[in-house]
Structure formats: structure tokens, C-alpha cells
Chain A
Amino acid sequence: MSGMQTINGVASALPRANIDTDQIIPARFMSRSRADGYGSQCFYDLRFTQEGTPRADWPLRHLSEGPTVLVAGENFGCGSSREAAVYALMDFGVKVIIAASFGDIFQSNAGKNGLLTIILPAAHIREIFAMLHVDPEMQISIDLPGQRLCAGEINISFEIDARLKYRLERGLDELSATLELEDCIVAFEAKHLGSSAWRVPLKPEPRPD
């Protein structure tokens, strides 16, 4: 994961609400290993008909790869907890997603992988959709340290969890940071499992063969 400071890139609109993770990456592609890449499967069933021809109603059909900034309808990433939805978007080329709301687990998965999600009020999202309608090549710039977003006339600040911001700016992975707290974990665990013996499952009786 590399560090992130400012992002300036072409934005695209996906003005549909409730795009669930089944639509971002259909379940049938999920047995792939990460190294194989998920980009070409991103939004697959929204991009292509069952016969494999491109769908005329797909809002991003003019793009060969994902936009740097995806501006999406509300509740983006709801549904299944599959992290492959984040892999698919990142491998597709998306670095930032802006929406009025996100599915919780999706948003958490995004943060862990360095995909920035930004929540803006619905009125701003509608304005950005309108601007992108007029200028589909419009750029949006995001200043992560300053927590500001600039899209055409709109120049506003956004919220981000302090720990997530710290990690994203430095490209740190969460696991390594937690392992530095191992002493605290060990001490807590001894007390937690020691005082309530029932918490540790019984070993099953050996099964007769």
C-alpha cells in the first residue's frame, strides 16, 4: 500500500442507488486469487449482457478502464461482505469513491486496502452528477491531509476517521500496527479467558470412525 496525499483525476458518474457488491463483482468470479487481477470483472453483469455484448445503458461504457474518481448513487457497496468488490474497483483503476452513503462493511474494506471513500451530502452529489453530465471529462481533486474536495464550483471539506487518515497518508497496513500492541493483547487475553473458562470451546470428543 503506497501513501496518499492529493489525488487529481478524471471523474465519472454512476448515478444509481444501492449498487450492491454482487453487482460490483458477481460471486462466480470470486474464486480467483488476488494476483490474477479483478479489474476486468468489475461491474461485469452491468457492463455486459448475458451474450457478452456491451450494454447500451451502462453509464461508464465510454471508458476502457475505471475512472480515478467514481461518483456513485447512495448506499454504494451494500450487501455481501466480499472484499473482492474493493479489489475489483481498485484493479479497474478507481482510487476514490464519492457517494452520499456506503454499505458499512464495504467502506471498512475499502479503507483497509487504501481505496478512499468520501461521503458528501446528497445535494452536492446531485450537483456533481449534473456537472459530469455537461462535462464527462471533468476532474475532481482531493486533498487528503487538508480534507478538502474540489469539483468545479464545489470546494468543501470532508470527514475522515483520524486513524484511517493517518494510515492512508503513510500507506501503513493496520495489521503491523496492531502487532506492536501485542503486550496489551496478551495481558487482556490472559484475564479475559482466565476469568471465564467457558469462553474457550471444549475440544470435541474423538469421533468413532
Chain B
Amino acid sequence: MLNPVANRVEHYLDVLSAKQKLTASNIANADTPGYQTKDVDFASALQSASGSPVAATEVDGLVAKPDGNNVNLDREARNLAETSLRFQIATQYLQNQIRATRTAMSEVRG
């Protein structure tokens, strides 16, 4: 509706919410034996067409605890804050676009 960039931003918001959901899952399962940390591969998720489901991938290079669980709460806390901030930036951008469109519409109406 707005412009091609705004459509991409919309897809970006989808990817961000998928990522935040996985982070919430990881935190909820921080003490579940055998649980493997899940994340979104940002590059490939952004390349994919908007509206397509975002795939969850397992993360390499994390140290597993003796019970086979490899959730690192510090990593998840960082991701939680980062995703939230990125979301804020993207929604701010969209809000500005919408405001500009609205201003243009009210100018036409006179």
C-alpha cells in the first residue's frame, strides 16, 4: 500500500516476531533436559518471499550442559533485547510512512 520498502519492512517485522517467539521458547525450556536452542537464520529468512513461514534452525557452537540442554540464558537475554529494539525501529519507520501518507491525504481534501 505504501511503497516497496514498507512491504519489505512488513516482512522484516514477521521475521522478528518469529525470532522473538523462538527466544521465548528457549527461555521457557532453559531447564528442560535435552532441549536444543532454536533460532532464525536471518539472512535466508529475509531473502524468502514475504508471507512464507519462517524456518527454525538449531544453533551450533553452544556448550551443552550434562543433561544435554544447550540454552545459554545470557545469549537469549541479549537476543530478547535486540529483537525488541529492532522491532521498535521498524515500527517507527512504518509509523512515519503512515503519517506522511495521511498528511498527503488530508492536503488533497483541503
Do A and B share a complex?
no
Instruction: Show the binding face of A for B, using Cβ within 8 Å.
Output: none
